[in-house]
Amino acid sequence: MKLVYFAWVRERIGHAEEEIDLPDEIVTVADLLAWLAGRGEGYEIALKHASAIRVAINQEHVAHDARIEGAREIALFPPMTGG
């Protein structure tokens, strides 16, 4: 599964994307965020306030209770500030 990061999430984690094999027990976006936060200091800092993190699966916005089954690409990023 491909994970991509943007803005300060990318900066804190330390890279823009990675391929990850997820354990079977990771079912929802919330599970993924909690699991990722345990992968190292950068992840922990980036994902400390999990509720602030916005998530897209296959380039569409999803809520934290969304299931990640079938996802090709999951993106994590801060609230958007375009326009």
Partner 1 sequence: MSAPIDPAVRIQREDFDLAKESTALCAGRSDVGALVTFSGLCRDEAGTLAALELEHYPGMAEAEIRRIARQAAERWPLNALTVIHRYGKIRPGENIVLVLAASRHRQAAFDAAAFIMDFLKTRAPFWKKEHHADGSEGGWVEARDVDDEATQRWHKSPPPDR
Nearer to partner 1, 7 or 34 (CB): 7
Minimum gap (Å) between residue 23 Cβ and partner 1: 26
CA distance 1 to 44: 20
Token digits of residue 69: 């089954």
The binding site for partner 1 (CB under 8 A) comprises: 4, 6-8, 56, 59-61, 75, 77-83
Nearer to partner 1, 5 or 43 (CB): 5
Minimum gap (Å) between residue 6 Cβ and partner 1: 6
CA distance 53 to 21: 21
Q: Across-strand partners of 19?
A: 2
Minimum gap (Å) between residue 25 Cβ and partner 1: 28
Nearest Cα to 10, choosing from 52, 42, 51? 42
